[in-house]
Structure 1
Amino acid sequence: MPLHYEVIDPLTIPVTEFNENHIAVLHVVGNRYSGQWKIDVLSQQERSGEAAALGTIEAFHDHQRDDLTDSPRYPQLGLDTAIIWLLTETKEKGWRLLLWEDASDKVPEDARKFTIGARVALGGDQFVPTPGVVYADEVLSTTKV
């Protein structure tokens, strides 16, 4: 069950993010302020000493469910929402979501309630799938996120 979300900055990935195989490896980082998540897709390439945001959403719960933010599952709902957003964006752009890897375990335990992370690989519009390989967008679109 993803959260409601609003696109703040549409996902825009420059050609320079994609390697010679038309794959871009990016980070998803979310920070929670009260009950609202700000979730960015970040470049791995540093510009001016920090990673560039390539797209941003804000995700929030139904305000009739204030108890939801206290749930240990609330950070996972933020990640679920990021997956739905990326699946939608990649499909619209003719790209592929090749890999989704939860990286929240790399966040210090006391901060996990307020910080989420993942690593993703996207195949651009010229990406050629390897026969027989099942990619994240195929798995995630057939399961409930």
Structure 2
Amino acid sequence: MSVVSAFCTMCDRSVYLEAEKELSCPVCSSPLIPTDLDEDRTQRIVENEVMFRGVNERINGVHASHKEDERRIGFVCECGIAGCSEQILLSPAEYEEVRSHALRFVTKPKHNVAGVEIVIAEHPEWIVVEKQGVSVHAAREADPRPN
């Protein structure tokens, strides 16, 4: 039996589960963030984040003519937590600042995955993370914007 470790952001606790079990907290049933990551799991996390980045690119495209507008738009959390659908309110300029770097993603606080990314900026309602290690190549390859 293989055991994986994960972290619950709702309970603020580490959890250890059988590798085959779904990654949800046994206390509160919230999705867990894996903390011991193999290359396959890292790839799945990055794919999830890239998928949400694609959603946000479409949202941003709808509001592209309002780049100087300071009003907040609802973007999707670009974290790697399966099942996360939290909304982040950003101005178009704030989103563009994050997206000007292919390796950066916007997430809710505590939604970052250690070993896959590091927090490089913190705001009250959101953080900016940057890919590290084996996730760098996957994030760069999947970036829909030209470098």
Band of TM-score, shorter chain: 0.3 to 0.5
TM-score normalized by the length of structure 1: 0.33
TM-score normalized by the length of structure 2: 0.32
Which has the bigger relative contact order, CA under 8 A and spacing at least 6? 1
Larger strand share, 1 or 2:
1
